Amino acid sequence: MSTSKPSQLTPRRAAFIARRALAACLPALALTGAPAHALTTTCVATSQELHDATLAAPGINDNVLIKVLTGTYSAATGGAFSINQSHSAQIITISGGWSDCNTKSNGSQGTELVGTASLPALYLNTGISKTGNEIDVQDLTLHNTTYAGVGIGACLRAYTATNNQIAIERMRLEQCNSANTGAAAGIVGNDGGDLLMRDIVAVNNAGNSSGGLDVETSQNGITRLSHLSITTSSANNAGALFGGLYVANFNSATTYLSNSVSWGNDSDPATKDLYLGGAQIYLTRVHYGSKGGSVPAGDIMPGTGDPGFVAIGDPHLRSDSILIDSGVANPEGGSGSYDADGAVRVQGPAVDVGAFESDVIFEDGFE
């Protein structure tokens, strides 16, 4: 079934298509049938090294693992942090959290990528007319307070297509600000491929028509979103459709959103925490402050009301949070072995909703 986006967002949809055409000029889950490759590993410690590694990776015939040591990496000093795959059947992994080239910690904290007025913090593209490609990104924080471009998103821009895949987990999008574009935290497109995002945090972001995440799927693509926590992400325009999370399907696409919370974003009642567009969107244990747009194909165990965050802008869970132990087991996309902080999942009788797994015993003062 084909559907159209609300009229307010139509210009951004046109820009999305134009950017995809432009990209043609410019490991998490293995793809079935992908041939085996050798692995080329690069360990980086400076902004310039990260820029050079991401630029070179698509031209390497092997699969590529880029280990990013803990620290702050600025596109202003190194150049764009961008993966744009140029041939087929390649897996490229960007992995943060390395204290040295042999020792890794899980969790989004510790390795930060910072964008500029003209560059998003991270750009990912599995390639136009390429097949069997995969990009896996894990354990990063993205910032960009000054983005002035149009239509890409201040912190994250990701795109995949038919027979390709992107998997992003344990990522924090914070202080992603843009005066000229919607979805300042990130704009992610899946045009017939496979997309996985889990244990993702988006906080303290602001954009022209949204500060949060825009995830669009089309052409029979399948997108799985699980354990997202989105809060204090707002739109600068009064009456914007969404501030937190926008999920849209086009042309027989399917999206699953599970064990996630979008709450406390824009103060304007017309601007929703969660906005849906299109058919075949399935919600499972999704907690939201407000919801608009199309009716989901399924909505199992929905939740509303105060989720029990530790503080405004901090979606860690208080010991009395209704999200603790309330998630569903084995959601589409999985829960992952670790939460966004690197804490082990599961702690307690059931998994928690959102990007963070709470240790209630420690929070109560026991050791």
Is residue 75 assigned to a domain?
Answer: yes
Q: Is it the case that residue 16 has pLDDT exceeding 80? A: no
CA distance 182 to 261: 20
% of the chain at pLDDT higher than 70: 88
> pLDDT by residue (tens digit) across 278-325?
999 999 999 999 999 999 999 999 999 999 999 999 999 999 999 999
Q: Across the chain, what does the average pLDDT equal?
A: 89
Is residue 134 assigned to a domain?
Answer: yes
How far is CA 239 from its chain centroid? 25
Q: What is the pLDDT of residue 361?
A: 53
CA distance 346 to 337: 8
**CB-based contacts of 160, cutoff 8 Å, min separation 6:** 125, 126, 133, 135, 166, 189, 190, 191, 193, 194, 195, 221
Q: Is it the case that residue 10 has pLDDT exceeding 50? A: no
Q: What is the pLDDT of residue 13?
A: 38
Mean pLDDT for 14-38 is 41
What is the sign of the dihedral through the CA atoms of 317, 175, 171 and 32?
positive
What phi and psi, each to the nearest 5 degrees, are found at residue 8?
-65, -25
Is residue 156 assigned to a domain?
Answer: yes
Task: Work out the pLDDT band at 32, boundaries 50, 70, 90.
Answer: very low
Strand 91-100 to 103-104 pairing: antiparallel
Is residue 1 assigned to a domain?
Answer: no
Task: Work out the pLDDT band at 26, boundaries 50, 70, 90.
Answer: very low
> pLDDT by residue (tens digit) across 252-273?
999 999 999 999 999 999 999 9
Instruction: Say if residues 328 and 345 touch (Cβ distance below 8 Å).
Output: no
Looking at residue 328, the DSSP 8-state letter turns out to be P
Q: What is the pLDDT of residue 149?
A: 87
Is residue 17 assigned to a domain?
Answer: yes
| Residues 89-128: b if buried by 16+ CB within 10 A, e if exposed | bbbbbbbbbbeeeeebebbbbbbbbbbbeebbbbbbbbbb
Q: State how far the alpha carbon of 73 is from the alpha carbons of 57, 112, 140, 200, in Å.
A: 18, 6, 11, 20
Q: Count of alpha carbons within 13 Å of 152, Cβ hemisphere only?
A: 25
Nearest partner of 218 among 188, 254, 245, judged by Cα: 254
Q: Which domain holds residue 132?
A: 7-363
Q: What is the pLDDT of residue 45?
A: 98
Q: Is it the case that residue 143 has pLDDT exceeding 70? A: yes
Task: Work out the pLDDT band at 132, boundaries 50, 70, 90.
Answer: very high
* Total number of domains constituting the chain: 1
CA distance 53 to 49: 6
Is residue 2 assigned to a domain?
Answer: no
Q: Is it the case that residue 142 has pLDDT exceeding 60? A: yes
> pLDDT by residue (tens digit) across 149-181?
887 889 999 999 999 999 999 999 999 999 887
Q: What is the pLDDT of residue 138?
A: 98
Q: What is the pLDDT of residue 24?
A: 33
Q: Is it the case that residue 14 has pLDDT exceeding 80? A: no
Q: Count of alpha carbons within 13 Å of 343, Cβ hemisphere only?
A: 17
Q: What is the pLDDT of residue 363?
A: 43
**CB-based contacts of 82, cutoff 8 Å, min separation 6:** 54, 55, 122, 123, 124, 125
| Residues 40-59: b if buried by 16+ CB within 10 A, e if exposed | eebebbebebbbebbeebbe
Is residue 145 assigned to a domain?
Answer: yes
Tokens of 215: 């995830």
Q: What is the pLDDT of residue 177?
A: 95
CA distance 220 to 78: 37
Mean pLDDT for 46-67 is 97
Nearest partner of 75 among 124, 117, 116, 118, judged by Cα: 116
Is residue 126 assigned to a domain?
Answer: yes
Q: State how far the alpha carbon of 25 is from the alpha carbons of 22, 55, 238, in Å.
A: 5, 14, 36
Q: Which residue has the tokens 């849906």?
A: 276
Q: What is the pLDDT of residue 201?
A: 98
